[in-house]
């Protein structure tokens, strides 16, 4: 699966257009990560627990988007974008979307 944030694939021709595909992951913070983060807020530095949480969410959301595109017969996803939003206290959604196509 070719995945890009641009609107075309250099050197390829779009043969079919399947429409928008997406994936999302909603994750909640972990108490242990919150405690470590509170110390980082005092002393400074990267919040590694949250970085890992977002990385896992991104991978899961991307996997879901790719699975949806594959089920449509696509071999590429163009114009990919990410979005995040807070859905509840201590929980956030990571959302990814793009356009599924068949490219040759």
Residue 28's pLDDT is 79
Question: Which domains does the chain possess?
Answer: 2-103 (3.30.110.70)
- Which pLDDT tens digits describe the chain residue by residue (104 residues)? 999 999 999 999 999 999 999 999 998 766 555 555 555 566 667 767 777 888 899 999 999 999 999 999 999 999 999 998 887 777 788 999 999 999 99
The helix/strand/coil state of 17 is strand
Sequence-separated (6 or more) residues with CB below 8 Å from residue 47: 33, 36, 37, 40
């Amino acid at each position: 699966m070719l995945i890009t944030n641009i609107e075309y694939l250099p050197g390829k021709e779009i043969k079919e257009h399947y429409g928008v595909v997406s994936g999302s992951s909603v994750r909640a913070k972990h108490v242990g990560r919150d405690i470590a983060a509170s110390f980082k807020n005092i002393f400074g530095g990267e919040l590694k627990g949250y970085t890992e949480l977002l990385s896992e969410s991104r991978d899961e959301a991307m996997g879901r988007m790719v699975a949806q595109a594959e089920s449509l017969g696509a071999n590429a996803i163009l114009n990919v974008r990410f979005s995040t939003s807070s859905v509840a206290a201590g929980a956030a959604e990571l959302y990814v979307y793009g356009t599924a196509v068949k490219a040759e």
